[in-house]
Structure formats: structure tokens, C-alpha cells
Chain A
């Protein structure tokens, strides 16, 4: 079976980190393309920017909880900022920069949508102006946040792909897969699931986004196929890993929790949405929920199926 040093907490973190980054990316795209300003209320940017910070914070807390001595003596975590040959050090820097930017971005979205918050804050902080230049602040935060989000999403893949001792992970395809999957889970959460619930007629609003999303889903399917094919062709423990995933003990998870709900079904829904110019309320929610669940189980499969080289 796969390596036993890292388990569920790491898998969930990889998922939350990716989805948080993807949510911010989705919001940033809608913000920076100006799509947001075609409507009086944009649920996608509000949800995307709002949830990205909390998701990554929860993931980071899980990582800290997974530590040994670093959990018992948290000041040791400071050492983790110091050793730049380690991808984990890049990660902790990216997370430390991403979290405040995404929180601020989310706060700006929320304050713009609910002006009462600023009025309430001004009762204590007298120096605050009566209104803030939300649009320009948000554009800067969306731009900076998007760059950091791409960093966070890719690094979660590089973290695993530098490990030569686990051949399944040791491929540059993995960071690419995690980036694409981060984008897809982010869109699934903020648009398919969040925006559909918040504004049921959201299905008729966006034209370019379902096309972007279906491309990501297709790309993700291709990348998963390539990762497995490369592992299979390598032989040895890499092929064993691939076998674990698509026909071994993990096959049920792979087909029933990743391929069907996260790739096949959303692909059909989005293809229909592009053709019809809209998608249904139920199918939108199901596709969003499926993509999110698949994102989690994809990380689970990669982490738990990584078999170390044999001695």
C-alpha cells in the first residue's frame, strides 16, 4: 500500500488550499474582466473572495495540527520560514502572504455589498472615510491575490512532485494537475454551487465562464489520465500505485467519487449549459457539489496511493 507518513490531514489541506486559491482566482477573473460590473449584484466575486481566506486558514490550521513538535511548541514554526531548499518553506511564505491578501479582498467585497459595516466601523474608527474606493482597492487585491493563488495551487503539487522516493508523485504533471483542479474546484464552489444557490437565475448570466470551466474539466481529465499512464508505463511501484487507483482497492473511490461526479457529470452539465445558454438549478448544484467532493478525493487518492520505492 501507499506511504503512511502523511494521511488525511495533509490530503484535506491540499484540497482546501487548492480550492481556496481557485475561489480567489475565479473572483479575480470576474473582477478583472469587468464581468462583475454588468450586474447589480455579483454573487461569484462575493463568495469567491469571501471564502478563499477562511478555506486556506482552515487548511493551514490542519497542517499545524498535523505537526509533531511544532504543534506542542508552536514557536518552532518560525524556523519553517528559513530553509529555502524546501518546498514547504516556499509554501509557508505563500500561505502567509495569501491569507492576509485574500482576507482583505473578501472584506472589501463584503463591505461593498453591505455598506452598514463601514458605517458601524466608523463609530469606533473615526478616521475612516464615509466611503471607500472599493473598485480600485479590489482590483489591486484581485491582481496580487491571483498571482499568489496560482503560487499556492501549484506549490501544493510541487510539494509532492519533488519526492523522488514516491514515483507516482515524481512528475511535473502533478503541479499542473493540482493547478487545474484548484481552478475547477474553485469555480465549482463559487459559481456552480454558491452563485446558483444565492441567485438562482445566475445560470443565465455568464457566457464565458462555462466555457472556461469545461476546458478546465477536460484538461483535468487528460492530466489525471496522463499521470496514471506515465506511472503505469514506468512499471515497478509506480505501476502498482496506478493499479491501486484505477483497478485496485481505491478504484471505487476513483470512479464513483472522482471520475463520475467531478469530471463526467459536470462536463455534460456544462456542455449543455453552453449549448442552451443556461443550466438548471438542480444540475448546477449537483455539478458544483460533485466537483468539490471529487477535488477532495483526488487529493486523497494521490496522497494515499503514493507507494515508496522498494529496497
Chain B
């Protein structure tokens, strides 16, 4: 029970708590501007993208470990898995895969309880109060991004560290990435670096042929 509480995923309740207690009373500095916490939180609402530059990824597994620790996952479980791959010329590269936060998420449509849902930020989340642990989502996800917590009996996944993100921060995997291969930013701001990379076609979805339309994760593939 303790484990569940420590790792509470209720983004909204945290936000509401902050709003109720502190809104308007604290001035914080964000990007050189002075604003109330309320304004800062409102500012953090939006759509996001996470781009992984496979030319920079060294396969060091710092993201995998940061995810494991941040989410207090059992054993050596992580929401990120790193696949060793080969370029056409035979040289190796690494492909880190986590939830792609698909627009047409198969895990969401097959979920019999509606426990899997889309957050307004574009992130696909799991309600651990209504998940029954049928694992249909795990069968349906072509990216194999779901992880089954045996103890809680729930199929979990990357949730983009939304509590940090909505507070103005970045996900744990982005913080931890030593070679700076992970780029996190606003998708709803056309001038942001991530938006530009996606618009220019340099950053692409992984396996678009799966038809799930990845919404947050994009990749810069080797040599591009």
C-alpha cells in the first residue's frame, strides 16, 4: 500500500492542491518572467514531443535506469527498453523504445475498462484504480511498451513523468540522458526546436506502418 501512495500518479489532484493552497500567493520566475504559480501551471499545459537522436544515443542505459528509479519499479523493470541494431553498413547503433503515446493507441481501444486514456497533453495514461490486469493492451501494443506489475496486477507504461512536466520540468529519461540524445519540448509551439525538427521531416515516428500514429515520441534515425 505504501508503495502505491509514494508513487501516486494523480497529476490533477496535485495540481488542484497547489492551486487551492498557493495560487496567487507565490511569484515564480520562469524564463525570466515573473508570474504567479497559477499562470506558470497554466503555461505548462499543452502538447509535448520527445525526440531521440539515434546518432547521439550511446546505449549507456542511463534513461532506462532513471526511469526505473523515478517510478520505483520492481526488479530491473523499466518503461524504456534499448534494442541493439545495425545500420545498413553493419555498424551498431541503439534504439531506445518506450511508450510512443500514439494518437490511435491500440492499447486504449482494446482496454475493456477505459483505464487507458489520453491526457490533454497528448500523453497516454493508465488509471491504476480501474485497470483489471487483463493484459489485452500488452498483447495489442506493437511497440511492446507495456510493463506488467505482478504485485499490483496492473499493466503500466511510460507516463512522460507528467507531474514534473506539468510543473515545468522534463521527464526523468531526458534529464538523465548523458550524450544529450533526448530532446523534449512543446509540440504546440511551432517555433520550438522539436516542432521544427518534426516539421522539417528530420524527426520521424518509429514504424509509421503500424498505423498507430505515434504522438509524442519521434526519432532522428542514423545518418539523418
Contact = CB atoms under 8 A, between A and B. Distances in A.
A128 to B, nearest CB: 39
Contacts of A162: 110, 140
B6 to A, nearest CB: 18
Contact of B141 (A77, A86, A165): A165
Contacts of A311: 83, 95, 97, 143-144, 206-207
Given A80-B132, A82-B114, A165 B140 contact: yes
B134 interface: yes
Interface stretch (B36-44, B57-65, B68-76, B147-155): B147-155
Contacts of B106: 163-165
A76 B130 CA distance: 6
Interface stretch (A38-46, A62-70, A267-275, A276-284): A62-70
Contacts of A67: 132-134, 153
Given A85-B109, A308-B142, A79 B130 contact: yes
A69 B133 contact: yes
Contacts of B170: none
B131 interface: yes
Given A71-B153, A79-B115, A311-B97, A5 B135 contact: yes
A68 B115 contact: no
Contacts of A66: 134
Q: Is the interface of A mostly helix, strand, loop or mixed?
A: loop
Given A68-B133, A308-B142, A308-B144, A80 B113 contact: yes
Nearest to B109: A85
Contacts of B155: 68
A293 interface: no
A282 to B, nearest CB: 42
Given A6-B135, A72-B153, A83 B114 contact: yes
B142 A86 contact: no
- Interface footprint category on A: 20 to 34
A92 B112 CA distance: 9
Interface residues of B, number: 38
Given A68-B132, A79-B115, A308-B142, A86 B95 contact: no
Contact of B154 (A3, A69, A89, A165): A69
Nearest to B140: A163
Interface string A230-250: 000000000000000000000
Interface string B157-179: 00000000000000000000000
Contacts of A119: none
A237 to B, nearest CB: 11
A88 B135 contact: no
A212 B95 CA distance: 54
A256 to B, nearest CB: 28
A70 B111 contact: no
B154 A68 contact: yes
A191 interface: no
B18 interface: no
Interface in A76-103: 76-77, 79-80, 82-83, 85-89, 92
B51 interface: no
Interface in B112-144: 112-115, 128, 130-136, 138-144
Interface string A98-118: 000000000000000000000
B211 interface: yes
B148 A68 contact: yes
Nearest to A3: B139
Contact of B132 (A79, A163, A164, A166): A79
Nearest to B141: A165
A79 B135 contact: no
Contact of A76 (B97, B109, B132, B142): B132
B17 interface: no
A166 B128 CA distance: 26
B132 A83 contact: no
A92 B95 CA distance: 39
Contacts of B210: 164-165, 309
A281 B181 CA distance: 72
22 contacts: A5-B138, A5-B139, A68-B132, A68-B133, A68-B134, A68-B149, A68-B153, A70-B133, A70-B153, A71-B133, A76-B131, A79-B112, A79-B115, A79-B132, A82-B113, A83-B111, A83-B112, A85-B109, A88-B134, A164-B142, A165-B141, A165-B142
Given A70-B153, A162-B110, 4 more contacts: A69-B153, A69-B154, A165-B210, A311-B206
